[in-house]
């Protein structure tokens, strides 16, 4: 007996099969690119998603596919797919990086239960009504990406609270805000009924079964957004359980038994279970470090070496003879007042400012590339700390964080994160957390597992770093916050709502 999880991501589709004990048995992924027909647009044809699913499924072992008892779904949050009465897509799907609706955010009255961003379904649908009446006339349903996929496999037209509450069109519990729909002139009939993420949402059709090499008639779970699925797959099951995910951006998720307190820049959404979760979303983690690495002409191994020094404490120079590889030179940046703001693409938590920008301040003639790289790593860690501070301000006590997918493999970067965030870090033995969480939802929907089993299904986690009480680092974090406050007015005023 196995369960299939499908994660419909922004840049790739991933699938994973887990066994009846929740252990991953096979996984595959297929990458694809976004379409940008106009500046600021982010779209994709749903046929691209379908082809990726068929290709990814074909890479899974046939014997495991034959044993699949249920399918669960995970999907990128916020975007929207318009379909007609026959289930055909009216136009390409619009996705969360899309900014075409930025000027429409002022139409959302304050206060809102969560920050409103232009790539959410609400602003995108308002843009459709105002600018693409032909598509609006053809539309029967406005679906979230993972809900479109479930419908395409033969499932029910429905959504779950974890996706609905992130559309900027629902109350904190996920129920559609009918008054807001009227204000925005969005037809009520576009919006699908709600059911729990772990509920059954139809059965796999014969046509879809043939395309995927599965048995027809197996249960399709409702599914959930990718962040709560990754939390579920990583073992978050109880109040206070917390997860740090670092990729292009960074997310810190903390489960809550009840709706969390509102804090500026903090997202409060429904989890894949009956919990809530707080989420701090930081846009500039991997994207900022990658760009800095390119600016400074580094290979990653050399970037880590020159920013942190050799783990053994030895020193070495580079071919040009400067002291870039010298551990003392790299760490000397901690005493020179060099600060890096990583906000190259704006920022969500805690500033809610898409116009925020970054760079180094405090550069002097004696600074080396290694010092600049070290400052960049610290700046990214400080941006994550600012997000975690927003979570702590909402009433959560966070002393331990799991690292999704094992987190960074570099021990020195992990140690910096532990010191900057003041937490114990545990790497989770789960490289495909979101599709695993989706597969667990399939097991719940089919009745194989129950909510009481979730804690026992948590994957193994290994402690990889803990805070060392670095007082100098704490002072540099205070400088970082002060610096952002002083320069924010340079960036213009286009805050998210």
Per-residue model confidence (pLDDT) at position 310: 66
What pLDDT is recorded for position 316?
A: 33
Predicted confidence (pLDDT) per residue in 181-230, tens digit: 999 999 999 999 999 999 999 999 999 999 999 999 999 999 999 999 99
Contact 371, 292 (CB under 8 A): no
- Name the token pair of 169: 């069109």
Tens digit of each residue's pLDDT (9 = 90 or more) over 103-145: 999 999 988 889 898 999 999 999 999 999 999 999 999 999 9
Q: Where are the domains of the chain?
A: 2-227, 236-429+467-497
Class of 2-227 in CATH: alpha beta
Q: What are phi and psi of 355, to 5 degrees?
A: -90, -5
Give yes or no for residue 321 having a pLDDT over 80: no
d(CA 492, CA 353): 9
Across the chain, what does the average pLDDT equal? 91
The position carrying tokens 């307190």 is 261
Q: How confident is the model at residue 407 (pLDDT cuts 50, 70, 90)?
A: low
Residue 329 has pLDDT above 50, yes or no: no
The residue assigned the tokens 């499924």 is 57
Per-residue model confidence (pLDDT) at position 486: 94
Tell me the range of 34-38, 141-145, 257-261 where mean pLDDT is highest: 141-145
Global confidence as pTM: 0.87
DSSP string, 247-285: SSSEEEEEEESSPPPP-TT-EEEE-SSS-EEEEEEES-S
* Domains 2-227 and 236-429+467-497 agree in fold: yes
Name the more confident of 261 and 65.
Answer: 65
d(CA 268, CA 192): 21
- Tell me: pLDDT of 331 over 70: no
Closest CA to 112 of 183, 7, 212, 204: 183
Give me the pLDDT at residue 56, please. 98
The pLDDT of residue 317:
35
pLDDT at residue 327 is higher than 50: no
How much is the pLDDT for 450?
Answer: 94
Q: With a cut of 60, say whether residue 180 has pLDDT above it.
A: yes
The CATH superfamily holding the domain 236-429+467-497 is ATPase, nucleotide binding domain (3.30.420.40)
> What do you get for the CA distance between the two ends of the chain, in Å?
46
């Amino acid at each position: 007996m196995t369960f299939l999880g499908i994660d419909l991501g922004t840049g790739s589709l991933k699938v994973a099969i887990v066994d009846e004990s929740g252990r991953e048995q096979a996984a595959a992924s297929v990458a694809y690119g976004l379409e940008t027909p106009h500046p600021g647009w982010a779209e994709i044809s749903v046929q691209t998603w379908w082809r990726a699913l068929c290709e990814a499924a074909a890479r899974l072992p046939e014997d495991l596919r034959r044993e699949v008892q249920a399918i669960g779904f995970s999907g990128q949050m916020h975007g929207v797919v318009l379909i007609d009465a026959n289930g055909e897509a009216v136009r390409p799907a619009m996705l969360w990086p899309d900014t075409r609706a930025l000027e429409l955010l002022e139409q959302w009255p304050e206060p809102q239960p969560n920050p409103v961003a232009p790539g959410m379904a609400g602003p995108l649908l308002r843009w459709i009504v105002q600018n693409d009446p032909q598509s609006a006339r053809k539309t029967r349903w406005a679906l979230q990406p993972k809900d479109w996929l479930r419908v395409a496999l033969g499932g029910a037209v429905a959504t779950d609270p974890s996706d609905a509450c992130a559309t900027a069109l629902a109350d904190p519990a996920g129920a559609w805000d009918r008054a807001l729909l009227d204000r925005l002139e969005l037809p009520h009939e576009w919006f699908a009924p709600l059911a729990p993420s772990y509920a059954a949402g139809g059965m796999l059709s014969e046509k879809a079964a043939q395309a995927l090499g599965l048995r027809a008639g197996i249960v399709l779970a409702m599914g959930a957004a990718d962040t709560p699925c990754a939390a579920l797959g990583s073992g978050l099951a109880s109040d206070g359980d917390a997860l740090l995910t670092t990729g292009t951006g960074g997310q810190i998720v903390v489960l809550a038994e009840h709706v969390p307190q509102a804090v500026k820049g903090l997202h409060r959404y429904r989890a894949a279970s009956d919990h809530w979760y707080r989420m701090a979303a930081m846009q500039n983690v991997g994207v900022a470090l990658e760009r800095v690495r390119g600016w400074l002409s580094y290979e990653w191994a050399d970037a880590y070496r020159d920013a942190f020094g050799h783990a053994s404490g030895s020193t070495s120079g580079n071919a040009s003879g400067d002291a870039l590889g010298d551990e003392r030179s790299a760490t000397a940046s901690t005493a020179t007042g060099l600060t890096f703001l990583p906000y190259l693409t704006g920022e969500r938590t805690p500033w809610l400012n898409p116009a925020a920008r970054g760079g180094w301040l405090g550069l002097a003639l004696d600074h080396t590339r290694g010092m600049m790289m070290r400052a960049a790593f610290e700046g990214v860690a400080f941006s994550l700390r600012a997000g975690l501070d927003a979570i702590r301000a909402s009433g959560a006590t966070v002393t331990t964080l799991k690292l999704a997918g094992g987190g960074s493999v570099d021990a020195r970067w992990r140690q910096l994160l532990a010191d900057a965030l003041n937490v114990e870090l545990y790497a989770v033995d789960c490289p495909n957390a979101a599709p695993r969480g989706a597969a667990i939802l399939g097991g719940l929907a089919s009745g194989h597992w129950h909510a009481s089993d979730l804690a026992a299904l948590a994957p193994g986690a290994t402690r990889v770093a803990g805070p060392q009480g670095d007082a100098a680092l704490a002072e540099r974090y205070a400088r970082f916050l002060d610096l952002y406050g002083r320069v924010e007015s340079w960036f213009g005023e286009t805050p998210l709502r």
